[in-house]
Amino acid sequence: MALNGDAGRFMTPAFILVRPQLAENVGTAARAMMNCALDDMRLVDPDEDHLCSRAVAASSGAEEILYHAKVFKTVADAVADLQKVYATTGRSRDMIKPVFTGQGMAKDILEHEQKGIKCGVLFGPERTGLENDDLAYADVIVNIPLNPRHSSLNLAQAVLLTGYELFHLSDTTQDKFLSMPKTEPANKQETEHLFAHLEQELEKAGYFKSPEKKPRMMLNLRNIFMRAELTSQDVRTLHGVITDLSRG
Amino acid sequence: MALNGDAGRFMTPAFILVRPQLAENVGTAARAMMNCALDDMRLVDPDEDHLCSRAVAASSGAEEILYHAKVFKTVADAVADLQKVYATTGRSRDMIKPVFTGQGMAKDILEHEQKGIKCGVLFGPERTGLENDDLAYADVIVNIPLNPRHSSLNLAQAVLLTGYELFHLSDTTQDKFLSMPKTEPANKQETEHLFAHLEQELEKAGYFKSPEKKPRMMLNLRNIFMRAELTSQDVRTLHGVITDLSRG
């Protein structure tokens, strides 16, 4: 499966749902995996059929993840081909294993995948989470930092945050401080004409009560409109506003 | 409400759900807000009662967020006291506004809140998302980068990822490369005794076929156990293993 147009750009660890109880949750988890361009879903001894109509409906269009999911009897079978296994858990454990944040896990998986090491992430059943016997297969515990007063996540939300950390690390989207799909920024001649028009009408209207304050007042007005980063269309709109206002 | 023991550490922008359709989704969104230590939920013209039993059940223990939620008739009312408004949307819009990633939004909110500027984030109805009329109240569009082939999130998942970016930015949890809740790392005398015990028993068992290779073979074995970062208890366990194996 190629889940994005930029093959190989995103990480593809297996996401292993251990004894999931509800088919709906498996479906919602599939949707969350698809959101994060992950396609290797594995199920260990699920309580319900992951291809039932409730699961497919809950996947909201991500049913290809469900159709490609592999079902195993035991965690040992599900992780057999993996070289590094991470186990998500909200509880602190008396285990002598590294405990990573979501971001730490993502960086570690990226580093390992770049060396060709196949990774996977375990998620526990909805009600109880992973058992200690499941954690025995994990090299690293993953504990996503959240409000200590309320850190429990449902299965799909745990899958989403884990997947998001992975996606996020490979994503290169930048903030766009101003998006101008339709029109170009106005040039200085256009904005100067606008300010001249405004000044002329304000002058006529008696806005500048004292001549010595006029330069400062005009500068303030100019700065307001400069901050707005006007387009040519904005300038035309404002000419219309000034014309119509000054008519009244 | 003080949602965490570290008051003032986390950001507290308002999360404004615009015309949410299902009470369950409002409940799940409340849970996600609580996960991220956010407590200012606002609802604009919700289709269902946000305090109904379905909403409370879906909140999974975060019902205090629902009880404190404020309901408004219009987006204008809901954002009246806010100074900077962000609107989440999965679709690209023909609007001349900055478009930030989730992380860009979180950094921007942090910067503004540190100056005492009150911020809020708009989330649209489940089926349609925010209308252009709603976006008119926003200073910034937020577009969380996800798989372009499948970027649509349900309401609670959008709330969770947005809240997570905010929480994450203030969170200081470090990766723990090894957590040792019960016992201390073994000291060098303990590990040396272990290696001596191992070497002695291997010698007896005829493991070192050629004397000149023995130092290299022992070094390899030492390195394996050094990598395991043994505790005192581990060392005792391994002594038992060596003793019992060498008896056979």
* CATH number of A108's domain: 3.40.1280.10
Tens-digit pLDDT profile for residues A143-188: 999 998 888 899 999 999 999 999 999 888 888 776 555 566 788 8
- Using a CB–CB cutoff of 8 Å, tell me whether A96 touches chain B: yes
Q: What is the mean pLDDT of residues B13-18?
A: 98
User: Is the domain of B114 the same as that of B219?
Assistant: no
DSSP-derived secondary structure letter, B71? E
Q: Which of B7-16, B141-150, B229-238 has the lowest mean pLDDT?
A: B7-16
Q: How far is CA B154 from the centre of its chain?
A: 18
Q: Say if residue A119 is in the same domain as residue A195.
A: no
Judge if B137 and B75 occupy the same domain.
yes
* Cα–Cα distance measured from residue A181 to residue B99, given in angstroms and rounded to the nearest whole number: 12
8 Å CB contact of A146 and B161: no
Examine the domain organization and report whether A39 and A113 are in the same domain: yes
CA distance A91 to A151: 9
With 60 as the cut, is the pLDDT of residue B5 above it?
A: no
- Which is it for strands B70-72 and B41-44: parallel, antiparallel or unpaired? parallel
Report whether pLDDT(A6) > 50: no
| Averaged confidence pLDDT in chain A | 88
Separation CA B86–CA B138 (nearest Å) = 5
| Residue B221: inside a domain | yes
Same domain, B83 and B166: yes
Q: Print burial letters for B139-162: b (CB count within 10 Å at least 16), e (below 16).
A: ebbbbbbbbeebebbbbbbbbbbb
Q: What's phi and psi for A24, nearest 5 deg? A: -60, -40
Dist CA B58 CA B37 (whole Å): 17
A94 contacts B178? CB cut-off 8 A: no
Count of the separate structural domains present in chain B: 2
For the record, the structure tokens of B186 come out as 């073994």
Whether the CB of B57 is below 8 Å from some CB of chain A: the reply is no
CB contact under 8 A, A98 and B152: no
- Assess whether A125 and A54 both reside in one domain: yes
Which run of H or E residues covers position A123? strand A119-123
Instruction: Give the gap in angstroms from C-alpha A217 to the nearest C-alpha of chain B.
Output: 25
A179 lies in a domain?
A: no
Q: Give φ, ψ of A87 to 5 degrees.
A: -120, 120
Q: Assess if residue B210 is contained within a domain.
A: yes
Does residue B138 fall inside a structural domain? yes
At residue B194, the pLDDT reads 93
Residue A219: pLDDT band (50, 70, 90) is: confident
> Dihedral of the CA atoms B109, B113, B119, B123 (nearest 10)?
40
Q: Within this chain, do residues A64 and A166 fall inside the same structural domain, yes or no?
A: yes
Interatomic CA distance for residues A230 and A154, integer angstroms: 46
Does A209 lie in the same domain as A159?
A: no
A78 is a domain residue? yes
A1 falls in which pLDDT band (50, 70, 90)?
very low
Let me know whether B229 and B120 are in one domain. Answer: no
Residue of chain B with shortest Cα separation from A11: B147
Kindly state whether residues A92 and A212 are assigned to the same domain.
no
> CB contact, 8 Å: B34 with chain A?
yes
Residue at A8 is within a domain: no
Burial A176-211 (b: 16+ CB within 10 A, else e): beebeeeeebbeeebbeebbebbbeebeeeeeeeee
Q: Which 3 state secondary structure label does DSSP give A50?
A: coil
Q: Greater confidence, B2 or A150?
A: A150
If asked whether residues B49 and B153 sit together in one domain, one would say: yes
Neighboring chain A residues of B4 at a CB cutoff of 8 Å: 147-149
- The verdict on B125 and B205 lying in the same domain is no
User: Strand, helix or coil at A34?
Assistant: helix
> Measured between alpha carbons, how far is residue B61 from residues B13, B58, B67, B161 in Å?
21, 8, 12, 19
Contacts of B179 (CB under 8 A, 6+ apart): A95, A96, A97, A98, A99, A141
Select from B170, B202, B222 the last residue of a domain: B170
The sign one gets for the Cα dihedral B185, B188, B191, B193 is: negative
- Name the pairing type of β-strands B14-18 and B41-44: parallel
Say yes or no to pLDDT of B217 above 90: no
B178 in A contact zone (CB under 8 Å): yes
Domain residue limits at B209: 188-246
Q: Which tokens sit at A48?
A: 């319900």
Assess if residue B179 is contained within a domain: no
Phi–psi pair at B15, nearest 5 degrees: -110, 115
DSSP-based three-state secondary structure for A122:
strand
Looking at the complex, does the CB of residue B33 fall below 8 Å from at least one CB of chain A? no
* ipTM summary value: 0.77
Task: Using the 3D structure, point to which of B114, B141, B170 is the last residue of a domain.
Answer: B170
Q: Which two tokens stand for residue A198?
A: 């405004």
β-pairing verdict for A14-18 and B99-100 = unpaired
Domain final residue pick, A143, A170, A197:
A170
- Does any domain span residue A139? yes
Above 70 in pLDDT, residue A56? yes
DSSP B133-165: HHHTT-SEEE-----TTS----HHHHHHHHHHH
